[in-house]
Amino acid sequence: MSFIVVCPLSRVEEAAKKYQTREMITLMNDNTNVSRPAGIAAEHHLVLTLNDINKIIPGLVHPQESDVNKLIEKAWSWDQRAPLLIHCWMGISRSTAAAYIIAATLNPAEDEFTLAERLRSSAPFATPNKRLIALGDKILGRENRMIKAIETIGRGAEVAEGDIFTLDISESYHCN
């Protein structure tokens, strides 16, 4: 079974140990110190420096096409023998958007709405970053279906911090 593990920064060590992850994606602003768990080699750790914003705000780093291209490249290079760990500050917005984009990348035939519903079922608090989703939709050629699917599930439940959750992308979904 292939799956993605998503969590907030405060639970990275716990998630890495519990799921024995060997690869990780960090989506954080540039002022945050992130320690890489012992089992994850530097070459298997993608760090995207960006703020959790949906539009361009002076002084902040907004998600860009290059960030999403790096997510897609990571999706294709991930060996899937161990889960992929994705985290951001709270595990609610940037990391859930990244998980959705990677799942859509690896499952090109999966319906965007079905995938969004699986995300909501796995993480009732997920509120994927709209700018990341829009960029992913454009790059993957999903013709606004990813955007509409995330709008359909709406804003997640209000929480102070997300929980650790998994998103299955196993062979039953994987369509290469």
Domain ranges of the chain: 3-168
Helix (H) or strand (E) holding 97: helix 94-106
CA separation, residue 34 to residues 24, 113, 117, 143 (Å): 11, 33, 30, 35
What's the CATH class of domain 3-168? alpha beta
How would you write the pLDDT of the chain (176 residues) with one tens digit per residue?
699 999 999 999 999 999 999 999 999 998 888 899 999 999 999 999 999 999 989 999 999 999 999 999 999 999 999 999 999 999 999 999 999 999 999 999 999 999 999 999 999 999 999 999 999 999 999 999 999 999 999 999 999 999 999 999 975 444 44
Task: Give Cβ neighbours of residue 33 (< 8 Å, ≥ 6 apart).
Answer: none
156 three-state secondary structure = coil
Beta bridge partners of 13: none
Is the overall model pTM greater than 0.85, yes or no? yes
| Both tokens assigned to 20 | 């024995």
| Side-chain half-sphere CA neighbours of 70 within 13 A | 17
| Both tokens assigned to 15 | 């998630």
